[in-house]
Amino acid sequence: MNSVVNALEVVLADTYALYLKTQNYHWNVEGQDFKPLHEMFKEQYDDLFEAIDVVGELIRGLGSRTMGTFGDFSRLTNIKDGNKDASAAQMVSDLLHDHEIIGQTLGKASKIAQEADDGVVASYLGSRMAVHRKTAWMLRSTLAK
Ligand SMILES: [Fe+2]
């Protein structure tokens, strides 16, 4: 199969897994920072939800069918499941780690798209790398003492 499609499938799986995990933490975060974290996590999963659709449709645009089952996503993703009982600080550092992992997935996929001379996919993946870098910065700043 097309290597750009394969790379996009991993991006899709990681993004879907992080979407679910971020919503898990939106629901379950507790503590004195409940409100800002609950709201920040919602902003993050809203962004991830939009990205999921774009990535799925980029795969369709390349002529392949897009996978759409939890089984496929959990088989391919690099993101570990969330822990609903984690502390607020553990949730933030967990998500920070995941945004860094997705940044690496996107970097690999972007390189494959560039090698395939697919500027459409490469430029979209680059824009997602910027979003994840910004989100990682915000999460890191939340953890600062
Ligand atoms: Fe909500």
Cβ distance 99 to 139 under 8 Å?
A: yes
Q: How far is the CA of 124 from the centre of ligand 1 (A)?
A: 28
The model's pLDDT over 19-36, given as tens digits with 9 standing for 90+, comes to 999 999 999 999 999 999
Q: Is the pLDDT confidence value at 143 over 60?
A: yes
How many whole angstroms from 47 Cα to the centroid of ligand 1?
A: 14
Tokens, residue 123 = 């430029």
Contact status, residue 132 vs residue 98, Cβ threshold 8 Å: no
The Cα–Cα gap between 27 and 101 comes to: 23
User: How many angstroms does the Cα of residue 34 sit away from the middle of ligand 1?
Assistant: 12
Ligand 1: centre distance to CA 19 (Å): 13
C-alpha count within 13 angstroms, C-beta hemisphere, residue 80: 8
Q: Which fold has domain 3-143?
A: Ferritin (1.20.1260)
Residue 104 CA to residue 114 CA, distance in Å, equals 15
Q: How many residues does the chain have?
A: 145
DSSP state of 86: -
9-19 confidence digits (pLDDT tens): 999 999 999 99
Q: Would you kindly state where each structural domain of the chain is located, as residue ranges?
A: 3-143
**pLDDT beyond 80 at 1:** no
Residue 2: the pLDDT is: 78
Neighbours of 46 (CB within 10 A): 13
59-114 residue pLDDT tens: 999 999 999 999 999 999 999 999 999 999 999 999 999 999 999 999 999 999 99
Res 145: pLDDT: 81
What pLDDT does 20 receive? 98
Reduce the DSSP state of residue 1 to 3 states and report it. coil
